[in-house]
Amino acid sequence: METLFNQENAAYERASKRVKELKGFYGNLTSYCLIIPFLIVLNLITSKEYLWFFWPMLGWGIGIAAHGINTFGIGKSWEEKKIRELMKKEPKI
């Protein structure tokens, strides 16, 4: 009975962590989609000679790409395998 409770608890914690990761990613993406167009308009209104909005757009875009890769688990299968391996090796108390 206790192992079932522990498994459910662990599954809930993993799901909760996943929801927090998704929420953070989509919040970041939403901010990007709202702020970058504002910066583009601001740049074009104030100074058409130098297009500085490309720099924050590029930097923030790279950050969002990295966040997306981390959030959507590209390359996470090895982490899951390692966690299972370590859990099997760890002595039960």
Task: Give 40-49 pLDDT, tens digit per residue.
Answer: 999 999 998 9
pLDDT (tens digit per residue) in 12-44: 888 888 899 899 999 999 999 999 999 999 999
The pTM score is 0.71
Judged against a pLDDT cut of 70, whether residue 92 lies above it is answered with no
The residue among 92 and 63 whose pLDDT is bigger is 63
DSSP letters for the chain = -HHHHHHHHHHHHHHHHHHHHHHHHHHHHHHHHHHHHHHHHHHHHH-SSS-TTHHHHHHHHHHHHHHHHHHTTTT-HHHHHHHHHHHHHSPP-
- The pLDDT value given to residue 84: 74
- The pLDDT value given to residue 9: 80
